[in-house]
Amino acid sequence: MFLARLKTFFGDRERPRLTALEIVKYVGPGLLVTVGFIDPGNWASNLAAGSHYGYGLLWLVTLSTIMLVLLQHNAAHLGIATGLCLSEAATVHLKKAVSRPLLASALLAAMATALAEILGAAVALNLLLGLPIPAGAILSAAVVSWMLFASTYRRIEKIIIGFVSLVGLSFVFELALVHVDWPRAAVGWVVPRISEGAMPIAMSVLGAVVMPHNLFLHSEIVQSRQWNLADAAVRERQLKYGFLDTLFSMIVGFAINSAMILLAAATFHDAGVRVTDLGQAHEMLEPLLGKGAAAMFGVALLLAGIASALTAGMAGGSILAGVFKEPYDIRDWHSRLGAGLTLFTAAVAVCFVGDPLRILILSQMCLSIQLPWTIFLQIRLTSSRKVMGEHVNTRLHTATLLLVGGVVSALNVMLLLSYLT
């Protein structure tokens, strides 16, 4: 199905050519998902990968992006074709004994995700202003809650697009200060190899990319344009061209994640520094690249933490609303309760757990346990003709998704075992 979309774009000359303005109309929802692709957990994994192994693990960003495009496009396809998000579809088409436990675990996963995002913002405030982690967590959660509850979806979308753009520009600035070995980087992007001892970091890079809350969120926010309420021709066109949003957004995520590894490889690895946490990276940047680079790093981390916490809150609201067969609407109390619980629980956990590294490990363990359930729930729904009608997955598409789901799930189980041993 994904290849069919590409063929439609580049091989069908009878269809009208998309103009730049036409493409812009479809771009937006995917960028909200991209934020989860560049959250603080990814920062920690990517900086560790670049500082320990240089350019050698860049190919993992390539692989994870390909898998992410397939899964996220499939989630968006469900939303457009049915007018239901993943949570609503599970509630409508599965028995309560199956759907309720699955969705409860998904809500817990959204909370675990928000925990890492709030922590990332709190760490950034600590690095920039010296604010204690608990105080930074409470302040970050309060700011995110205010932005989420006081803004319309379109305003949130614009804010996050702005944040993603600033994070991207910050890494352009950082990379301009270092010497990147581009030939080695080019090889690293396409040649798979894992050095001795690199498996835990490699699994962390891959495991931090595909996140359960993003699959729920994408199936919800892709409906913000309300194409599913238009006539059949509009829906068909959106189904054919909507993946551009996913493809473009994942490429943006690919570029930013690659930039993190490139920066760590050119700065820390070449200097013989092994980065183990975000605070250490910030401290080492100043003597290596100057105060401006260290400050830019902290600001970008703060923006990434705030933006990704916003999307985690939205995902929590969408999941709980779906349990009641309702779409996400921040004015509705089900959505507000889901978003509020997600952010409040995350802030409280950061304050009481204390150790940032322990918090990150705890959140990643929760995601590793829940992710396979969400992936195979999605495949089950999008492969059902009863759910999708004429837009059901083809056998080839289902087989491809099952392969991707199996690989992602196996890597997350291995990552979980590495934490427990």
The larger pLDDT score, comparing residue 404 to residue 223, is at 404
Lowest mean pLDDT among 161-170, 308-317, 387-396: 161-170
Q: What is the pLDDT of residues 233-259, one digit of tens each?
A: 666 667 666 677 788 888 888 998 899
The angle that helices 153-176 and 291-323 make with each other, rounded to 10 degrees, is: 150
Do the beta carbons of residue 322 and residue 88 sit within 8 Å? Answer: yes
CA–CA separation, 171 and 319 (whole Å): 33
Domains and CATH numbers, the chain: 2-269+277-420 (1.20.1740.10)
CA–CA separation, 416 and 368 (whole Å): 6
Do the beta carbons of residue 243 and residue 7 sit within 8 Å? Answer: no
Q: Residue 18 above 70 pLDDT?
A: no
Q: Which ranges of 324-355 does DSSP label H, i.e. alpha helix?
A: 333-353
> 342: how many CB neighbours lie within 10 A of its CB?
34
CA–CA separation, 23 and 149 (whole Å): 29
Considering the entire predicted model, what is its pTM? 0.85
- Arithmetic mean of pLDDT over the chain: 83
Q: Which of 37, 104, 22 is nearest to 68 (CA)?
A: 37
Q: What is the pLDDT of residues 170-211, one digit of tens each?
A: 888 888 888 899 999 999 999 988 777 777 777 777 767 788
Task: With cut-offs at 50, 70 and 90, classify the pLDDT of residue 224.
Answer: low
What would the two tokens of residue 394 be?
């083809």
In the chain, pLDDT over 70 holds for what percent of residues? 84
Burial class (CB in 10 A: 0-12, 13-18, 19+), 96: exposed
DSSP 83: S
